[in-house]
Amino acid sequence: MTLQDFPITTKWPPRHPERLQLYSLPTPNGVKVSIMLEETGLPYEVHRVSFDNQDQLSPEFLSLNPNNKIPAILDPDGPGGKPLALFESGAILLYLAEKTGQCLPRDPAAKWQTVQWLMFQMGGVGPMFGQLGFFHKFAGKDWEDKRPRERYASESRRLLAVLDGHLAARAWMMGDEFTIADIAIFPWVNNLVGFYDAGDLVGFSGFANVQRVLEAFMNRPGVARGMKVPATR
């Protein structure tokens, strides 16, 4: 089996079929994978999935991810040297960490503690921050009933407090080691106070440790590059 056997390559033909193929947008979930790829140095080729054109609903994209969400990857050099198609950002982070031997502790206990914080992002931070963004910035802001917004704002504050306490004596989520837990969490924190403009709503100024680590995260060269992938055009 080769990349040409995957229908998605008919819509987005690879120019470099020997490289990992990334299908994405620069959203909090999308940049998790591009940041990981930039941090690890794994060669990749990016394809923009345009929501404006409803690319995510095309038969070609659905053949790779039936859940019609970005990001997704197609790795020509998967397990056993065979191509591997994969979706869900958390699963992709775990796969790339194992593939490269980077951003995931080798110690078994530390590895599973990293995974728990990855799950914390996927089950809590992402859904709650995302819903708050809808009710604060997008169509939900026009609803007369403000209880949904306050529900998600309250839960977002609680999650930030959990992070702030955990980071009190740590440089990163796992201490001195930068991991996929950081790559999963901090694009969402950045989006919350940046794109969603919800910093005042959640009292972000009161979470000094989260602010400190977010600044360190955004100052990493690999993060800076990955945040812009794929480029807006």
CATH number for position 181 = 1.20.1050.10
- Residue 167 contacts residue 210 (beta carbons within 8 Å): yes
**Same-domain check for residues 118 and 214:** yes
Tokens standing for 67? 């859940």
**Same-domain check for residues 88 and 112:** no
Single residue among 102, 123, 158 that ends a domain in this structure:
102
Tokens standing for 189? 């924190």
**Span 70-98, mean pLDDT?**
97
Separation of alpha carbons 26 and 34, rounded Å: 9
Domain range holding 142? 108-220
Single residue among 40, 69, 102 that ends a domain in this structure:
102
- Residue 42 contacts residue 20 (beta carbons within 8 Å): yes
- Please give the mean pLDDT across all residues of the chain: 96
**Same-domain check for residues 95 and 12:** yes
**Same-domain check for residues 24 and 92:** yes
For the cut 70, the answer to whether the pLDDT of residue 161 exceeds it is yes
Is residue 230, in this structure, part of any structural domain at all? no
Top-confidence residue, 173 or 142: 173
Four-residue CA torsion sign, 93, 69, 63, 23: negative
For the cut 70, the answer to whether the pLDDT of residue 94 exceeds it is yes
pLDDT at 141: 80
Domain count, the chain: 2
Tell me, what CATH number does 14's domain have?
3.40.30.10
For the cut 80, the answer to whether the pLDDT of residue 66 exceeds it is yes
Provide the Cα torsion 100, 103, 106, 108; round to 10°. -120
**Same-domain check for residues 90 and 115:** no
For the cut 80, the answer to whether the pLDDT of residue 77 exceeds it is yes
CA 189 to centroid of chain Cα atoms? 11
- Please report, for residues 25, 54, 92, 167, 219, the alpha-carbon distance to residue 59 in angstroms, rounded to integers and kept in the order given: 18, 11, 22, 43, 38
pLDDT tens digits, 144-160: 888 999 999 999 999 99
- The whole-model pTM stands at 0.96
For the cut 80, the answer to whether the pLDDT of residue 133 exceeds it is yes
Q: Which long-range contacts (CB under 8 A, 24 or more apart) does 220-225 make?
A: 220/39, 220/178, 221/38, 222/35, 222/38, 222/39, 223/35, 223/38, 223/39, 223/186, 225/34, 225/35, 225/38
For the cut 70, the answer to whether the pLDDT of residue 112 exceeds it is yes
Provide the Cα torsion 85, 87, 89, 95; round to 10°. -30
pLDDT at 48: 97
**Same-domain check for residues 63 and 31:** yes
Provide the Cα torsion 159, 86, 34, 233; round to 10°. -110
Provide the percentage of residues in the chain whose pLDDT is more than 90.
93
**Same-domain check for residues 78 and 155:** no
**Span 35-59, mean pLDDT?**
96
The pLDDT-based confidence of 126 (bands split at 50, 70, 90) is: very high
Separation of alpha carbons 36 and 2, rounded Å: 24
For the cut 70, the answer to whether the pLDDT of residue 165 exceeds it is yes
The pLDDT-based confidence of 232 (bands split at 50, 70, 90) is: confident
Place of tokens 């999963």: 184
**Same-domain check for residues 211 and 116:** yes
pLDDT tens digits, 177-229: 999 999 999 999 999 999 999 999 999 999 999 999 999 999 999 999 999 99
The pLDDT-based confidence of 233 (bands split at 50, 70, 90) is: low
